[in-house]
Amino acid sequence: MAWVLQSGCLFSAVLFVLMLFIQGYHRVNSEPTQDKQALLAFLSQIPHEKRLQWNESDSVCDWVGVQCDPTNSSVYYVRLPGVGLVGQIPANTLGQLTQLRVLSLRSNRLTGSIPPDFSKLQHLRSLYIQNNQFSGEFPASVTGLTRLIRLDLSSNNFIGPIPFAVNNLTQLKGILLENNGFNGTLPSINPPSLEKFNVSNNRLNGSIPKALSKFPASAFAGNIDLCGGPLPPCNPFFPSPSPAPSAPPKIIPPHKKSKKLSTAAIIGISIGAALALLLLLLVLCLCLRRRQSKRDSTKVQKPPAVSRTAAGAVGEAGTSSSKDDVTGGSAEAERNKLVFFDAGGYSFDLEDLLRASAEVLGKGSVGTSYKAVLEEGTIVVVKRLKDVVASKKEFEQQMEVLGKIKHLNVLPLRAFYYSKDEKLLVFDYMPAGSLSALLHGSRGSGHTPLDWDNRMRIALSAARGLAHLHVSGKVVHGNIKSSNILLRLENRDSCVSDFGLNQLFSSSAPPNHRVMGYRAPEVLETRKVTFKSDVYSFGVLLLELLTGKAPNQASLGEEGIDLPRWVQSVVREEWTAEVFDIELMRYHNVEEEMVQLLQIGMACVASVPDQRPAMQEVVRMIEDMNRGDTDDGLQQSSDDHLKGSDSQTPPQESRSSPLGVTP
């Protein structure tokens, strides 16, 4: 019995080996017939030149351009470059070669789109279809071929967006899309081992994502409006003079700002030379940065390289800088750094800032402000100062002073950037805009008048901010005007911006007409702003708030007026009828308050500086006049902001005199 079992076992074993052999033998002589049918179908349906001849009676693995796997069980490679294929790839032909590893159809005259059944080529490693006339959008079926290593769609007629789904292809080492009609923005394509990348000569615009900025400029050339990364920066903080940072400055085109050709051209030419150098330095800086290990972008880092001594100057801004005397070339790169003051919760660097999309918010007396939207969505205001005369050291010292000022009603300075050619300040973005826009923005339909309570709130909070600057910060604002009073969204409090910058500029510069209306009379002579001249400007601001009229501002286009003189020219009895903003006339029972605030304003614009109250006194007067009100939260004491007040305390008589001032 046992023998029978044993021999049975033996027999089946022999049979098994035999079957294996037969099967193997059979496979050796076979060919992948399904693949063969698919290829025959392909060839029969597509016009082609005569030289491509596949003899049906031969093994498919022997055909020109076809290669099978080692066991001849499926087709692995189809390479048909330049064999004169014409027209569309027929559906359900090549897509059936499910084991295909490489498909090359380059340099034919193929048209139309890639058939959807290409999505079945799940083992495809390389797809070369460059130099054809394929059209339509980026083939959707391709983004599902997750094993793809090389994808070449270049020199076709593809249009539309490059899909973010390309990131599905995690194995990609090369993706070539140049010479097509792809448009829209470039998605962040970031497979870990991407080595070859090219999107040149398409119709892309927008910023180059960080992940792709390691590729050379020629990989992005010839698009509509790509910027950042290896190309010139996107935004106008550093207007891009020419595609090549090192190009000679004289070939600088006026660029996009051709609306204001004359000024733009002059500015462009004058800073062009410096800019080319700066960009070069930036590139250098960024290279260095990348090589250095980690960065902590919210804090200023002390550069690790000891040899770069001058770097300490910027690296230590925020504490003290005393080593600012080395002018070595290698230090230049380190200097070009965004220096942050604490908090703010910001984590971006100069590179991010340069890549941000920017929109001009306004051109002021000290420079142009931009709203910059960073890639990750953070919005900040970047102020690009012009005509700064302060030395680097002076600049940094002043920034240090300004960066320390923290008050609810003072717009905090978050960061600055100093280089020979560019001085940038970074502030929070205040979406609610400025008092100027609120007061003088279009008064047509749809305009919501600024009501009395809000005007009072703005007046008081701006006064508190300014008093804090004077008393705690010991900083003269120097540029009080309604466009520098910004509104906070939450509570309609205001905060003062643009403070303490005067000393960075030359005092011998011709007086700026745009701030003339706010300038105290003595400033026009001495060219020197003081605490008292700030008070004068604030007084004009109060008059503006009450009358709704812009002080002498040529930039507004309409005839400006000298507000203090005009109010004085109207006899007190007529104030209500003549002086106050018509929009305030609808509010009853506020007339007395309006008159009181006007008197405070008139006290501030006294022509003799010593007769003006100190700013903290102005705060107290505004608070006092609201005593009795309960609903507007204006009664919060200002004392906490005024701690440490010393020599700034005004003479006692000025407490009462303002209300007694007559026009």
Ligand X SMILES: *[C@@H]1O[C@H](CO)[C@@H](O)[C@H](O)[C@H]1NC(C)=O
Residues that bind ligand X (CB under 6 A): 28, 55, 57-59, 61-62, 68, 70-72, 143-144, 146, 159-160, 165, 168, 178-179, 183-185, 198, 200-201, 205-206, 216, 218-219, 225
Give which of 576, 428, 565 is closest to 490, Cα–Cα. Answer: 428
Residue 14 phi, psi (nearest 5): -60, -45
Q: How far is C-alpha 512 from the geometric centre of its chain's CA atoms?
A: 30
From CA 234, how far away is CA 356, in angstroms rounded?
Answer: 7
> How far apart are CB 209 and ligand X at their closest, in Å?
12
Judged by beta carbon, residue 58 or residue 624, the one nearer ligand X is 58
Please give the DSSP secondary-structure letter assigned to residue 410: B
From CA 559, how far away is CA 571, in angstroms rounded?
Answer: 22
Judged by beta carbon, residue 201 or residue 483, the one nearer ligand X is 201
Judged by beta carbon, residue 68 or residue 450, the one nearer ligand X is 68
Please give the DSSP secondary-structure letter assigned to residue 510: P
> How far apart are CB 234 and ligand X at their closest, in Å?
8
Is residue 608 classed exposed, middle or buried when 0-12, 13-18 and 19+ CB atoms within 10 A define those classes?
A: exposed
Beta bridge partners of 451: none
Asked if 311 contacts 332 with a C-beta cutoff of 8 angstroms, the reply is: no
Task: Strand 109-112: give its sheet, edge to edge.
Answer: 86-88, 109-112, 133-137, 157-160, 181-184, 203-207, 225-227
Asked if 161 contacts 183 with a C-beta cutoff of 8 angstroms, the reply is: yes
Judged by beta carbon, residue 27 or residue 302, the one nearer ligand X is 27
> How far apart are CB 220 and ligand X at their closest, in Å?
8
H helix intervals, 589-648? 591-604, 615-625, 639-642
Q: How far is C-alpha 403 from the geometric centre of its chain's CA atoms?
A: 22
Give which of 172, 136, 181 is closest to 154, Cα–Cα. Answer: 181
CB-based contacts of 624: which residues, under 8 Å, 6+ apart?
none
Judged by beta carbon, residue 67 or residue 368, the one nearer ligand X is 67
Give which of 320, 362, 344 is closest to 413, Cα–Cα. Answer: 344
- 332: enclosing H helix or E strand: helix 329-335
> How far apart are CB 391 and ligand X at their closest, in Å?
38
Judged by beta carbon, residue 188 or residue 330, the one nearer ligand X is 188
- 3-class secondary-structure state, position 123: coil
> How far apart are CB 191 and ligand X at their closest, in Å?
13
Judged by beta carbon, residue 157 or residue 506, the one nearer ligand X is 157
> How far apart are CB 553 and ligand X at their closest, in Å?
33
Tokens of 378: 């953070």
> How far apart are CB 207 and ligand X at their closest, in Å?
7
> How far apart are CB 71 and ligand X at their closest, in Å?
6
> How far apart are CB 72 and ligand X at their closest, in Å?
4
> How far apart are CB 348 and ligand X at their closest, in Å?
18
Judged by beta carbon, residue 184 or residue 663, the one nearer ligand X is 184
CB-based contacts of 91: which residues, under 8 Å, 6+ apart?
115, 116, 117
> How far apart are CB 7 and ligand X at their closest, in Å?
35
Judged by beta carbon, residue 206 or residue 663, the one nearer ligand X is 206
Tokens of 597: 């605030």
From CA 662, how far away is CA 561, in angstroms rounded?
Answer: 20
Judged by beta carbon, residue 56 or residue 296, the one nearer ligand X is 56
Beta strands (DSSP E) in 419-513 are 423-428, 485-487, 494-496
> How far apart are CB 178 and ligand X at their closest, in Å?
4
Judged by beta carbon, residue 225 or residue 624, the one nearer ligand X is 225
Judged by beta carbon, residue 177 or residue 458, the one nearer ligand X is 177
Beta strands (DSSP E) in 73-173 are 75-79, 86-88, 102-104, 109-112, 126-128, 133-137, 150-152, 157-160
> How far apart are CB 195 and ligand X at their closest, in Å?
11
Q: Which residue has the tokens 């034919």?
A: 108
H helix intervals, 208-304? 261-291
DSSP assignments along 514-560, one per residue: GGGGG--HHHHHH----HHHHHHHHHHHHHHHHH---BS-GGGSSPP
Judged by beta carbon, residue 183 or residue 530, the one nearer ligand X is 183
Give which of 116, 168, 156 is closest to 139, Cα–Cα. Answer: 116
Judged by beta carbon, residue 67 or residue 648, the one nearer ligand X is 67
CA Rg value for the chain: 36
> How far apart are CB 62 and ligand X at their closest, in Å?
5
Please give the DSSP secondary-structure letter assigned to residue 223: -
